[in-house]
Homo-oligomer: A and B are copies of this chain.
Amino acid sequence: MNKRDRQQKILSLIRAKPIATQETLRELLENAGVAATQSSVSRDLEELGVVKHHGHYTLPRTNGAGARGLVSLDLAGDNLVVARTHPGLASAVAVEIDAATFPEIVGTIAGEDTIFIAVRDQKAERAVIKSIWGLFS
């Protein structure tokens, strides 16, 4: 019914088990008593920053180690991707990202536990998140 609740439900669903398509996600929501269309699911996933990787939807964030310092990836507007790392590892992570030379990345700057990644446009943002997440997982 409510957008926020639906998005929360989506998060718990994709955390519970791998989900391959928006249509199956929509069905699961329906079973949980939350009616929605594929359109809305698509927009929700976009807003939540969920990304499809290895054939299923996941959140680009970790709760522990295993990703060589990278903790999360987020968006700020249309031209900036913000990566969070474990303390002190931002530079190391940034070096690795730079080394991969993604064409959509215009430039990066690293602080202590944060990296700003400038990209050309909104389309590039999603591609970059997907690529970087793949690089570190």
Task: Mark A residues whose CB is within 8 Å of B.
Answer: 74-80, 82-84, 91, 94, 106-112, 114-116, 118-121
Question: In whole angstroms, how far apart are the Cα atoms of A78 and B120 in the complex?
Answer: 9
Question: In whole angstroms, how far apart are the Cα atoms of A57 and B95 in the complex?
Answer: 33
Residues of B within 8 A of A83 (CB): 107
Evaluate contact between B111 and A84: CB separation under 8 angstroms: no
Evaluate contact between B120 and A75: CB separation under 8 angstroms: yes
Evaluate contact between B109 and A76: CB separation under 8 angstroms: no
| CB nearest to A120 among chain B residues | B76
| CB nearest to A77 among chain B residues | B79
Q: Identify the interface centre among A76, A80, A82, A119: most chain B CB within 10 Å of its CB.
A: A76
18 contacts between A and B (CB under 8 A): A74-B106, A74-B107, A76-B80, A76-B107, A76-B118, A76-B119, A77-B77, A77-B78, A77-B121, A79-B79, A80-B80, A84-B107, A107-B116, A108-B114, A109-B109, A109-B111, A110-B112, A116-B116
